[in-house]
Chain A
Amino acid sequence: MRLGFVLPILLLVGLALLLAFGLGNDPREVPSPLIGKPSPAFDLARLDTDARLTENDLKGRALLVNFWASWCAGCQVEHPLLMRLASEGVEIVGFDYKDEDAAGRQWLQRHGNPYRIIATDPQGQAGLDWGVYGVPETFVLDAGGAIVYKHIGPLTETAWRERVQPALKGAH
């Protein structure tokens, strides 16, 4: 009965490997079906000027689109990093998600404004079209306006260095 002895051990090892693989996966990292596709169409009011913003305004250069809100705790976590990136010349477009304009403006006044353009998405419709399910989320757009990368949750130094920055560089 060689098999009867070895098989349970093999099964156990297999199961352990499977579970280890499962543990290493982050269930929140839902792959976006929008990667490689043009950004969804939108026509939103802006927070910083009276003009409106559409998807066409995002074309012509690679940039980051960051969904944030004044009520969002994770946005404060990533905020210093966004400020630094902005100072280094990275163009970040902010979508103020399900927020009140006054609260959004106040938040930027208190913490600083890393955004070159800010659109408001009070109903969350643009967020829905972009497949956002929790702020903050950050998209990398190439010069043609296509989404090349999506980061879910607060942007970290590691995520920026290892994934977002390379995606942005490749998008020029």
Chain B
Amino acid sequence: MRRLWLAGLLLGFAATLAAQTPTQDRIEADALDPSQQQRYQKLVNELRCLVCQNQSIADSDAPLAADLRTQVHRQLAAGRSDAEISEYVTERYGDFVLYRPPFKRSTWLLWLGPFALLAVALLLAWIFVRRRRPRAVVANAPVDAARLQRLLDEERRQP
């Protein structure tokens, strides 16, 4: 009984996996050559699906994502460049659809923010380390070798 359960569970899991793989679009017959195919994969992985915003249009099953994939495919087949295709999409949906947005006035904080935070963190770490150092240093007292030897000898005699 238990084994049957497990088999059913596995089967169900496999079915959901199959269902989640975006269905290959019913794209027209004009197939892409290998280099175009490569560009197609790159483009659809760098375009955000606006319906489910944390997926690329390559990952998403939303009808809009399928439409955009078809557009990318059609325009590649028509000989458009990657830049032209990105422009086609951003003209309609804005820079938000690009997972790799261009560097400009509205996006500089997005690009430089992490580096600025890193710089601040490093600066703070440096300040803390510098402040701590003087305390850690113990004055080097001159060692009285004869007295040290006497103490060690004493200890050995009375364990």
Closest to A98 in B: B63
Most B CB within 10 A of own CB, among A27, A30, A129: A30
A128: CB under 8 A from chain B?
Answer: yes
Q: Mark A110-137, 1 if CB is under 8 A from B, else 0.
A: 0000000000000010001111011000
Whether A4 and B51, one on each chain, are in contact in the complex, defined by CB atoms closer than 8 angstroms, is no
* B49, closest chain A residue (CB): A133
A133 to B92, CA, bound (A): 10
| Contact B63 A128, beta carbon cutoff 8 Å | no
> At the interface, yes or no: B33 with Cβ under 8 Å from chain A?
no
How far in angstroms is the closest Cβ of chain B from A39? Answer: 12
Interface size grouping (class) on chain B: 10 to 19
Q: Is A32 an interface residue (CB 8 A)?
A: yes
Does B64 sit at the interface, judged by CB under 8 A? yes
Residue of B whose beta carbon sits closest to that of A123: B67
State whether B50 touches A133 (Cβ < 8 A): yes
CB distance from B132 to the nearest CB of A (A): 10
Question: Any chain B CB within 8 A of the CB of A31?
Answer: yes
Return chain B residues, CB-CB under 8 Å to A30: 50, 93-94, 96
Task: Say yes or no for B126: interface residue by CB 8 A criterion.
Answer: no
| Proximity bits, A17-45, B CB within 8 Å = 1, else 0 | 00000000001101111100000100000
Verify A128–B128 contact, CB threshold 8 A. no
Complex Cα distance A130/B63, Å?
16
Expressed in whole angstroms, the Cα–Cα distance for A169 and B51 within the complex equals 31
Q: Which chain B residues (90-140) contact chain A, with CB distance < 8 Å?
A: 90-96, 124, 127-128, 131
What residues of A have a CB within 8 angstroms of the CB of B90 in the complex?
A: 33
Q: Is B21 close to A, CB under 8 A? A: no
Return B65 CB to nearest CB of chain A, in Å: 10
Q: Which residue of B is nearest A1, CB measured?
A: B131
Q: Which residues of A contact B50 (CB under 8 A)?
A: 30, 133-134
Contact B93 A131 (CB under 8 A): yes
- Asked if A130 and B92 make an inter-chain contact with CB atoms under 8 angstroms apart, the answer reads yes
Residue numbers in A under 8 Å from B20 (CB-CB): none
Residue of B51, B63, B93 with most partner-chain A CB within 10 A: B93
Q: Please determine whether B94 and A32 come into contact, CB atoms closer than 8 angstroms.
A: yes
Q: Which A residues have a C-beta under 8 Å from some C-beta of B? A: 1, 3-4, 7, 27-28, 30-34, 40, 98, 124, 128-131, 133-134
The 6 closest A-B pairs by CB, nearest first: A133-B50, A131-B92, A33-B94, A30-B96, A131-B93, A133-B64
